[in-house]
Amino acid sequence: MPQNLWIEEKSNENLKQGYRVKKVLFSGQSPFQKVEIVETYGHGKMLLNDGLVMTSQRDESIYHEMISHPALFCLPQASKVLIIGGGDGGTAREVLRHSHIRECIMVEIDEMVVEASREFLPETSCSFQDPRFKLIIDDGVKYLKNCQEVFDLIIIDSTDPIGPATPLFNESFYQDVKRCLKDEGIVIAQGESPFYEVPMQRKLLSIIHELFNISCIYNFHNLTYPGGLWSFAYGSQRIHPQDHFEAKRVEDSQLDFHYYNSDTHRASFMLPEFMKKNLGEFLS
CB 38 within 8 A of CB 25: yes
Residue 230 C-beta: closest distance to ligand SPD, Å: 7
Q: How many CB atoms lie within 10 A of CB 276?
A: 12
For residues 39 and 50, which CB has a smaller minimum distance to ligand SPD in the complex? 50
- Which of 56, 125, 190, 215 binds ligand SPD (CB under 6 A)? It is 190
For residues 220 and 282, which CB has a smaller minimum distance to ligand SPD in the complex? 220
Residue 88 C-beta: closest distance to ligand SPD, Å: 5
Position 159 contacts ligand SPD (CB under 6 A): yes
Select the span of 48-56, 142-150, 175-183, 248-256 touching ligand SPD (CB under 6 A). Answer: 48-56
- Tell me, by CB under 6 A, how many residues bind ligand SPD: 13
CA distances from 77 to 16, 99, 214 (A): 43, 10, 20
Select the span of 157-165, 199-207, 231-239, 261-269 touching ligand SPD (CB under 6 A). Answer: 157-165
For residues 223 and 247, which CB has a smaller minimum distance to ligand SPD in the complex? 223
Query: Residue 176 catalytic?
Result: no
CB 158 within 8 A of CB 173: no
Q: How many CB atoms lie within 10 A of CB 161?
A: 17
CB 19 within 8 A of CB 35: no
Torsion angles phi and psi, residue 272, rounded to 5: -65, 155
> Rounded to the nearest 5 degrees, what angle is found at the Cα of 88, between the Cα atoms of 48 and 13?
25
For residues 55 and 278, which CB has a smaller minimum distance to ligand SPD in the complex? 55
Structural element, H or E, at residue 156? strand 151-157
Nearest to 264 by CA among 82, 61, 53: 61
Helix 171-179 / helix 198-211 crossing angle, nearest 10 deg: 40
Position 185 contacts ligand SPD (CB under 6 A): no
> Rounded to the nearest 5 degrees, what angle is found at the Cα of 279, between the Cα atoms of 61 and 76?
45
- Which of 40, 55, 219, 236 binds ligand SPD (CB under 6 A)? It is 55
Name the residue with the smallest CB distance to ligand SPD. Answer: 54
Identify residues 86-145 at the interface with ligand SPD (CB under 6 A): 86, 88, 90-91
CB 161 within 8 A of CB 192: yes
For residues 95 and 211, which CB has a smaller minimum distance to ligand SPD in the complex? 95
| DSSP type of residue 128 | G
- Which of 157, 176, 182, 212 binds ligand SPD (CB under 6 A)? It is 157
Which residues make up the interface to ligand SPD (CB under 6 A)?
52, 54-55, 63, 86, 88, 90-91, 157, 159-160, 190, 225
Annotated catalytic residues are 157
